[in-house]
Amino acid sequence: MNPVSSEVSGHREAFRTCPLCEATCGLKLTIEEGEVTRVEGDPDDVFSHGFLCPKGAVLHHLDSDPDRLRLPQVREGDTWRDASWEEAFARIEEGLMPLIQKYGRNAVAMYLGNPNVHNLSSTIYLRPLIKTLRTQNLFSASTVDQMPKHVSSGWMFGHPRLIPVPDIDRTDYLLMLGANPWVSNGSLCTAPDMPGRLKAIRKRGGKIVVVDPRKTRSAREADEHLWIQPGMDALFLLGIASTLFEEGLVNTGDLREHCTGLVDVQDWVKGFRPEQVASHCHMEAGTIRRIARELTEAPTSVVYGRIGTCTTEFGSLSSWLIDVINVLTGHLDRPGGAMFPMSAHSRYRENKKPGGRGFRTGRWHSRVGGHPEVMGELPVAALAEEIETPGEGQVRALLTIAGNPVLSTPNGHRLEKALGTLDFMVCVDPYRNETTRYADVILPPPSPLQRSHYDLAFYDLSIRNVANYSEPIFPLQEGCLEESAILLHLIRMFAGQDASVPLSFVDDFIVKQWIQSEISAEGSPISGREADDILAALGDQHGPERILDFLLRVGPYGDGFEPDKEGLSLSLLREQPHGIDLGALEPRIPEVLATSSGTIELAPPGVIPDMDKLRQQIQQEPTSGLVLIGRRHLRSNNSWMHNLEHLVRGKGRCHLLIHPDDAAPISVETGQSVMIQSRVGALQVTVEVTDDIMPGVVCLPHGWGHNQPNTSMHIAASHPGVNTNILTDEAVMDASSGTSVLNGIPVEISAV
Ligand SMILES: Nc1nc2c(c(=O)[nH]1)N[C@H]1C(S)=C(S)[C@@H](COP(=O)(O)OP(=O)(O)OC[C@H]3O[C@@H](n4cnc5c(=O)[nH]c(N)nc54)[C@H](O)[C@@H]3O)O[C@H]1N2
Ligand SMILES: Nc1nc2c(c(=O)[nH]1)N[C@H]1C(S)=C(S)[C@@H](COP(=O)(O)OP(=O)(O)OC[C@H]3O[C@@H](n4cnc5c(=O)[nH]c(N)nc54)[C@H](O)[C@@H]3O)O[C@H]1N2
Ligand code: SF4
Ligand SMILES: [Mo]
């Protein structure tokens, strides 16, 4: 299908931020005769300076993919048909509202997937949707990803979104655990052109050390690669922290006056000397000590950990230790260390005193497993049991938005079975895939080229303060709905309003709530002003643009709605298609701290149970046996981009990496198949024998397994691969955050 363009003929260039991953690269699109004919990196983008990866280069293929749904789909038995939006919403109302009336709001669960955080409409309208649905059964991809980092940030800094990012452009020493930014392009560290920025560290005489059970591209490009037993980062980090105290290397500098709990930390880490932890990590004690010293000897240094440290049993503990070490070396909140961004849309308060309400979890618990709520969410690993288990509060319906939990969450088989038993399921998704094939109704959002973009999520995790707004490349195709409008329909329905209430009324209500909360906030630039005046100043804008404009104008660089003040606004951003660079990160402690004490709370009680567990674990022999970890590929993006021919063609990639020492006993060679079995599942997969993986570890990527009936992704189906999350175990998680253990899964392998 040809994209509709505002230009019927001729040639034009357009610029937009790539919404696919956290790197936020600027893209330059060439449009001829109403079609995108080329996507390049935008050389003038203030942040990415022309960088792009193979996924960004085919962004337009998502737009033209014939399998991408353009119209709502309703299911009749095992077949699907197009439906009008009116019919689709009516069917949803008939399906969901009686369940809510009969069983209460918790009967409807919601799962929010990863692309939501790359979408302006979702980052704005999901919050009111969550508020109006008011279910305790809220799940998201966060609990198969970064939730441990939210928890440790909540504990230490008082707010789960206060995540310090490694200042990689200025650091002299980067200790990187469980991340492969050469391939992932960075995560919880928004920095387009990660490869270039990492190379620059070494070029200026700095050092990079990578800790990973696999010799990844990032490990190869580093000065040093250290193998680690999967799941044991917490012990390695405890070894470093104990060395810093023992060898008198702790130097918190002028952070000292803003920290509490230092003495407790010293006491807690004592029992984890490198000599006590090394064998469990598969490291040398001397190496751990040396790394600890190097972190303090370098003029600036930073420890950065990502998904390999989060999706393990001690994810929150590891995330906490990473920032503890950054404090102990005196590099938290300092250039070249780990710093807090100040995005253009952040809620900055003039003269704010440090401190706030602090961070709490466990305001409710999951019904079956008793898991504590974290940031309003329950662990997605518990979704299946909440659907399966009868009784009051049972989940009977599911709304997924931009998620594919069948492929991306543990024990996919169990979840699939559970989805098949639901009374009703709705998916907001552009594809009929492994998850959405269970839906009664699928509501498709427009393609990325038909929507605007501003990265509300990732400019808060960015290594520079940057703002960039992208206009849609093409107008909305006829018959399509903006994703914001889809969400507003759902909000209106859950708020108990019928179609006689215009969506614009619901939208006005939402923007007025934003305005009201800002007006009543102390230190806000519009504190005490009249709501109607602010609303009037926003003019005739609507939808996400109006709210974005509002956020920018009351933000730290905004005009504060002062007629004579110069400052950021959406209209100003619209004039800058290559973005605006707002500068390098600056120290923000103590103003930024939101703990109840107003300090960095270094010794949160939440870490104690896991420390006790580890203390016992190191008394015993290290466990042996094969464990499974994951990996990513540059041409892949979780589960959903395998329908683009350019990204999947060539040699298959969904194979199991195995060390020669582990392949020999079962006599398998590269290209042969093995059975791999875990507690929860088994599958057959082709192996690649390589010493890029540690002995005792095997590695399989996630996001594959596309050969399912009743899906409609033809290219993906012809490159199916296998679903590694058939093997991952829903019963094991990081208890503090509810995050699944996706790395370090015990498995057995046999030849077939
Ligand atoms: N090309 C591409 N880019 C992506 C994505 C994608 O699918 N493809 N996904 C995006 C998303 S959603 C995210 S969250 C980010 C993730 O970004 P990253 O965190 O950089 O993700 P990975 O590339 O999976 O790197 C994780 C590394 O952890 C290692 N590892 C596994 N277990 C352990 C362990 O116990 N300890 C240590 N130290 N290391 C371990 C793995 O071998 C792997 O090299 O990437 C984003 N970018
Ligand atoms: N074993 C293992 N499992 C993992 C991981 C791992 O490292 N190992 N990584 C985990 C991580 S970090 C993540 S983030 C999760 C991802 O988990 P999910 O978010 O559940 O899965 P995705 O594959 O990102 O699927 C995204 C879905 O959103 C749809 N979509 C794409 N764009 C849009 C849009 O604009 N609007 C809407 N409404 N829908 C859209 C796609 O069609 C797809 O169905 O997977 C996790 N699973
Ligand atoms: S690195 Fe990420 S943001 Fe940049 S082009 Fe690739 S997918 Fe897009
Ligand atoms: Mo993720």
Query: Where are the strands (E) in 197-317, listed by range?
Result: 207-211, 224-226, 259-260, 302-305
What pLDDT is stored for residue 623 in this prediction? 86
Pairing of strands 138-140, 108-112: parallel
- In the reported structure, the alpha carbon of residue 142 is separated from the centroid of ligand 4 by a whole-number distance in angstroms of 7
Q: Decide: residue 336, CB within 10 A, 0-12 exposed, 13-18 middle, 19+ buried.
A: buried
Listed in sequence order, the residues at least 6 apart from 423 whose beta carbon sits closer than 8 Å to its beta carbon are: 95, 99, 396, 397
Phi, psi of 554 (to 5 degrees): -95, 0
For residues 317 and 152, give the distance between their C-alpha atoms in angstroms, rounded to a whole number: 7
Tokens of 530: 């009249």
Q: 731: helix, coil or strand?
A: coil
**Ligand 3 touching residue 18 (CB < 6 A):** yes
> 254-276, pLDDT tens digit by residue?
999 999 999 999 999 999 999 99
Mutation pick for ligand 2 pocket among 65, 69, 112, 144 (CB with most ligand atoms within 8 Å) = 144
- In the reported structure, the alpha carbon of residue 473 is separated from the centroid of ligand 3 by a whole-number distance in angstroms of 17
Q: Which ligand 3 atom sits nearest the alpha carbon of residue 56? A: 5
What pLDDT is stored for residue 352 in this prediction? 87
Query: Where are the strands (E) in 136-289, listed by range?
Result: 138-140, 165-166, 173-177, 207-211, 224-226, 259-260
- In the reported structure, the alpha carbon of residue 184 is separated from the centroid of ligand 3 by a whole-number distance in angstroms of 9
> 400-453, pLDDT tens digit by residue?
999 999 999 999 999 999 999 999 999 999 999 999 999 999 999 999 999 999
CATH number of 624-751: 2.40.40.20
Q: 292: helix, coil or strand?
A: helix
1-64, CATH topology level: Phosphorylase Kinase; domain 1 (3.30.200)
- In the reported structure, the alpha carbon of residue 639 is separated from the centroid of ligand 2 by a whole-number distance in angstroms of 6
pLDDT at residue 579 tops 70? yes
> 275-284, pLDDT tens digit by residue?
999 999 999 9
Ligand nearest to the CA of 21: 3
Ligand nearest to the CA of 40: 3
Domain 73-145+363-443 indexed as CATH 3.40.50.12160: no
Q: What is the pLDDT averaged over residues 128-141? A: 98
Q: What is the pLDDT averaged over residues 669-695? A: 98
Listed in sequence order, the residues at least 6 apart from 749 whose beta carbon sits closer than 8 Å to its beta carbon are: 626, 658, 662, 666, 674, 675, 676, 677, 698
Ligand nearest to the CA of 734: 1
For residues 418 and 396, give the distance between their C-alpha atoms in angstroms, rounded to a whole number: 10
- What is the full DSSP assignment across 455-514? -TTGGGGBSEEEE--B--SSPPPTT---HHHHHHHHHHHHTT--TTS-HHHHHHHHHHHH
**Ligand 3 touching residue 20 (CB < 6 A):** yes
CATH number of 167-345+588-614: 3.40.228.10
pLDDT at residue 8 tops 70? no
Provide the residue count of the chain: 752
Rg, the chain, Cα only: 25
Across-strand partners of 339? 165
Domain ranges of the chain: 1-64, 73-145+363-443, 167-345+588-614, 502-578, 624-751
Residue in this structure with the two tokens 């990492």, named with its chain if needed: 198
> 325-351, pLDDT tens digit by residue?
999 999 999 999 999 999 999 988 888
